[in-house]
Structure 1
Amino acid sequence: MKRRFFTIAFLALGAITFVSCSDDDDDNSHETMIEAQDLPENARTFISTYFPTAEYSRVEENSAVESDGTMYEVDLSNNFEIDFTSEGSWVDVDGNDQELPAGIVPQKIAEYVSENYPDFFITGIDTETTGYEIELSNDLDVLFDTEENFISEDK
């Protein structure tokens, strides 16, 4: 009888453990590795324009568009990470503490940063529904509206 009890208890514990470890991601999205040539042409052009010497380290396609519009995630050999929409427009460019190439950041924002934060450079940019979020080399985030006007800064 004792043996039967322990067997049942062990099986129940195993079942609970199995269920509790199941994949329970909230976004239900999955990523698939793809070849660089499978990216939209706009994305490939963006990369070749701003990162001509970088090679593709990782290219993933999401099974569904993320809330920020991201469909493709690209890591480059120079440690830059770029997210693109399904049409190939950039959503997020992360330099991982490196300065973004000139021309990626809209001119009005670049001028504002240069004037107001002359000792720092832009290491990342995100497009948001309300505008842009810029990350500076001092880890300060600077927010701009869709018209590229300064809103606030956030540490």
Structure 2
Amino acid sequence: MKNFVNPVVFIGWIMMTLMSCSSDDDSNSDQVIQSEELPAPAKAFVSNYFPNTTYTRVEKNMQVEPDGTLFEVNLSNGFEIDFTAEGNWLDVDGQTQELPQGIVPESITNYVVQNYADLQIVGIDTETTEYEIDLSNGLDLYFTLSGEFVRVGNN
């Protein structure tokens, strides 16, 4: 019986070791870069909407993510912004802070002011066919890319 247990334990150990060496290790999926390496439109967006902040971390993904993100930027004020390879923003996350005026399309801002006057827009995410707006109470609002209200959702 002793000879039977040792090979089974050994084979199990080998299988667990091989499974832990997965090729999709996240540490190889992006690299930290200097802010100067961002595309010009991304740098212009940051300097326009966040003029008094500094970059705390800028990452370039090894591959474009399914949503189009290539660059992920963290700013000193806590904002996180995702950009495409061309430098267009896809996602602006203020955590709990209100987004600077002008990022959110005017028709969406007007809808929020009219229907959720006590709340702030703390995030915007550009999806393939719509915008997802994060409000300060955790509510999500969805709009078409032309700015028409679609539905309400929860975080």
TM-score normalised by the chain length of structure 2 = 0.90
Mind listing any 5+ residue stretches in structure 2 that lack a counterpart?
Answer: none
Change in Cα spacing, 1:26 to 1:134, as seen in structure 2 (3 Å) is: farther
Question: Match for 1:56: what amino acid?
Answer: Y
Which residue of 2 is the match for residue 39 of structure 1? 38
Q: Give 1:18 deviation, angstroms.
A: 1.1
Q: Give 1:154 deviation, angstroms.
A: 0.7
Mean Cα displacement is larger for which, 5-14 or 75-84? 5-14
Which residue of 2 is the match for residue 65 of structure 1? 64
Identity of aligned residues (%): 49
The runs of 4+ residues in structure 1 deviating greater than 4 Å are 4-7
What is the DSSP-based 3-state SS (H/G/I as helix, E as strand, rest coil) of the residue aligned with 1:100?
coil
Residue 16 in 1 paired to residue 20 in 2? no
Change in Cα spacing, 1:26 to 1:58, as seen in structure 2 (3 Å) is: closer
Q: 1:102-151 CA distances to partner (integer Å, 9 max, x unpaired)?
A: 11101111111111100001000000111211000011100000111001
Separation of aligned partners in 1, 2:60 and 2:5: 47
Mind listing any 5+ residue stretches in structure 1 that lack a counterpart?
Answer: none
1:123-142 maps to which residues of 2 (within 5 A)? 123-142=122-141
Separation of aligned partners in 1, 2:22 and 2:78: 29
1:84-103 maps to which residues of 2 (within 5 A)? 84-103=83-102
What is the DSSP-based 3-state SS (H/G/I as helix, E as strand, rest coil) of the residue aligned with 1:97?
coil
State the number of aligned residues: 153
Which residue of 2 is the match for residue 52 of structure 1? 51
Q: Give 1:21 deviation, angstroms.
A: 1.3
What is the DSSP-based 3-state SS (H/G/I as helix, E as strand, rest coil) of the residue aligned with 2:113?
helix
What is the DSSP-based 3-state SS (H/G/I as helix, E as strand, rest coil) of the residue aligned with 1:53?
coil
Which residue of 2 is the match for residue 153 of structure 1? 152
Question: Match for 2:86: what amino acid?
Answer: E
What is the DSSP-based 3-state SS (H/G/I as helix, E as strand, rest coil) of the residue aligned with 2:47?
helix
Separation of aligned partners in 2, 1:59 and 1:87: 15
Mean Cα displacement is larger for which, 15-24 or 138-147? 15-24
